[in-house]
Chain A
């Protein structure tokens, strides 16, 4: 693990489109937490969209190409070994591209052809390692390291940890998961739980950690999304959670949007607060609510954190 720790001290940072828009608070808090922990983030130069959940429905190999271009720049132009993506969509797509490029000759051929025409080096499988923001903190600092740097505590805060779909499914694109103790689990992920527990939070037993929020149809089939989100929020509240911690901008904005929609359209009001795990960690590291972008969330939690003595 010590080699991994070394490698994660300075990583290529791929924020992705959402973190420059609706998920700006995730971007802000991730960078602030990195700084507080002494981990270096170097943004991928001139990056492009990974294809999100949409491009694959037009053509899956184009999504592989788009993701490969990001990894190609990190590897060839920046000489980085690790790409860190805080967004589940970006993380998933880079992982998927990595898998396809090491297993499917047709994908290799299409990516090579498109890369040559676009005028950049073709990405070859294995050139970089793609990790999530959770891997980055869990292995770059570790629980002990995090503990030493705490300046506050989340003590008394009841949290439901919500990971969503793309962090664990499908299993085959995450070969490092399900490898026994210390590794992440695809059926019952725990990295976020582990980190927030170190920061003092009380993680509730939450059965819908990897349930789907309907993010793919958040606007095109809103009623389905609202039902799915309401299910997640209700389960979290029933588990006694005051806060749902998120680690994906699509899940996060889906939960926030449909919490409002459920209230306005169906009269189903819920109280649970929705915050990024990096915002919670940041406050435990002594950062102000503003520094972690609490004010940029739709779900209004500033007063709540003040009342709890966390902010």
Chain B
């Protein structure tokens, strides 16, 4: 099925020759520009299954390419290259190399759920975008996106204490992404906050960054959540065949190492 909103004529495939004569006919200049033909052979036939194995991607196979997701997309409106329908199409075909061309922007989905609202096939495109971002990171195609770092910083606090404190999340996020907290717009924002805020409120806010709010008796919930997170991480790596290398290496190392693996 053609993807109308994506041009297959790419700048790097256009070739221009100053002087070109073919069979005695001069086809230089404007006429020498042509589209290079290409053959795709590197399909990843497991791609749809891999995406479906990650949370959010379960329904990717249901898509019939109506384009409602892209049409309603918040991010597409400010960046036409952000195209959920096209990426779902590529996932279903297994065109891994094609989808990697957009690896820098896929994580930018804002989870507004307009696509999920519009989708007539219950594909949950928002979930597919998250699964695809995860897949990119798990496969090592991209480093962790700033968004994923934020999600992790936030979740770590929830898992550890049951509650979050926004100032702390912000500080840790800026630190982990190597950004300076003293950005002019943030300073201006704090300045405006200070204008009317009573001292008691400021003390409370300041105190919260030292004494983190927490849910009491959270330790059992924390242990249960951490165990679950660990188990799910393992399942996902296995679904993407990422632990295969380790297993193969173990087998290769002989019966002693394999026995050790079986015991653990």
Please list the residues of chain A having a beta carbon within 8 angstroms of any beta carbon in chain B: 17-18, 20-22, 24, 46-49, 51-62, 65-66, 69, 110, 113-114, 117-119, 165-166, 168-171, 186, 211-212, 214-217, 219-221, 224, 227-228, 256-257, 260-261, 263-265, 294-296, 298, 300, 302
Closest partner residue, chain B, to A211 (CB atom): B74
- Report which of B192, B201, B205, B217 forms a contact with A46, defined as CB distance below 8 A: B217
Interface string of B113-155 (1 = CB under 8 A from A): 1101100000010010010001000000000011111111011
C-alpha gap A150/B155 in the complex (Å) = 42
A47 cross-chain contacts in B, Cβ below 8 A: 215
| Residue among A60, A119, A220, A300 with the highest chain B CB neighbour number at 10 A | A220
Closest partner residue, chain B, to A51 (CB atom): B158
B198 cross-chain contacts in A, Cβ below 8 A: 295
Segment among B3-11, B223-231, B256-264 that sits at the interface with chain A: B223-231
- Across the interface, do A60 and B185 meet the contact criterion of CB distance under 8 Å? no
Interface string of B177-221 (1 = CB under 8 A from A): 100000011001100110111100100010010000101111011
A66 → B minimal CB distance (Å): 7
B215 cross-chain contacts in A, Cβ below 8 A: 46-48
C-alpha gap A245/B42 in the complex (Å) = 52
A117 cross-chain contacts in B, Cβ below 8 A: 220-221, 223-224, 227
C-alpha gap A245/B213 in the complex (Å) = 29
B177 cross-chain contacts in A, Cβ below 8 A: 220
C-alpha gap A114/B112 in the complex (Å) = 28
A30 → B minimal CB distance (Å): 16
- Across the interface, do B201 and A55 meet the contact criterion of CB distance under 8 Å? no
Closest partner residue, chain A, to B134 (CB atom): A57
C-alpha gap A51/B75 in the complex (Å) = 23
- Across the interface, do B201 and A228 meet the contact criterion of CB distance under 8 Å? no
- Across the interface, do B147 and A220 meet the contact criterion of CB distance under 8 Å? yes
The reply to whether the CB of B35 lies closer than 8 angstroms to some CB of chain A is no
B211 → A minimal CB distance (Å): 13
A165 cross-chain contacts in B, Cβ below 8 A: 111-114
- Across the interface, do B185 and A49 meet the contact criterion of CB distance under 8 Å? no
- Across the interface, do A114 and B225 meet the contact criterion of CB distance under 8 Å? yes
C-alpha gap A269/B84 in the complex (Å) = 33
The reply to whether the CB of B173 lies closer than 8 angstroms to some CB of chain A is yes
A158 → B minimal CB distance (Å): 23
The reply to whether the CB of B165 lies closer than 8 angstroms to some CB of chain A is yes
A170 cross-chain contacts in B, Cβ below 8 A: 113, 116-117, 124
- Across the interface, do A300 and B216 meet the contact criterion of CB distance under 8 Å? no
- Across the interface, do B229 and A217 meet the contact criterion of CB distance under 8 Å? no
C-alpha gap A261/B188 in the complex (Å) = 8
Known contacts A58-B229, A296-B201; decide if A118 and B78 are in contact (CB<8 Å). no
C-alpha gap A215/B109 in the complex (Å) = 11
Known contacts A170-B113, A220-B150; decide if A59 and B55 are in contact (CB<8 Å). yes
The reply to whether the CB of B108 lies closer than 8 angstroms to some CB of chain A is yes
Known contacts A20-B213, A217-B108, A228-B78; decide if A169 and B113 are in contact (CB<8 Å). yes
- Across the interface, do B173 and A220 meet the contact criterion of CB distance under 8 Å? yes
Interface size class of B (residues with CB under 8 A): 35 or more
Contacts A52-B164, A221-B110, A265-B184 known; list 15 others, CB within 8 Å. Answer: A24-B201, A55-B155, A57-B148, A59-B232, A62-B155, A113-B224, A117-B227, A169-B112, A216-B111, A224-B110, A260-B185, A260-B188, A260-B189, A264-B188, A302-B196
- Across the interface, do A300 and B196 meet the contact criterion of CB distance under 8 Å? yes
A51 cross-chain contacts in B, Cβ below 8 A: 155, 158
C-alpha gap A168/B151 in the complex (Å) = 23
- Across the interface, do B78 and A224 meet the contact criterion of CB distance under 8 Å? yes
- Across the interface, do A227 and B55 meet the contact criterion of CB distance under 8 Å? no
Closest partner residue, chain B, to A20 (CB atom): B213
| Residue among A113, A227, A264 with the highest chain B CB neighbour number at 10 A | A264
- Across the interface, do A221 and B108 meet the contact criterion of CB distance under 8 Å? yes
- Across the interface, do B146 and A59 meet the contact criterion of CB distance under 8 Å? no
Give 16 CB contacts A-B under 8 Å: A17-B164, A22-B166, A46-B215, A46-B217, A57-B134, A57-B147, A58-B155, A59-B229, A62-B225, A117-B223, A169-B117, A170-B116, A170-B124, A224-B108, A257-B189, A296-B197
B117 cross-chain contacts in A, Cβ below 8 A: 168-171, 186
B205 cross-chain contacts in A, Cβ below 8 A: 21
C-alpha gap A179/B149 in the complex (Å) = 40
The reply to whether the CB of B56 lies closer than 8 angstroms to some CB of chain A is yes
C-alpha gap A63/B210 in the complex (Å) = 26
Closest partner residue, chain B, to A266 (CB atom): B185
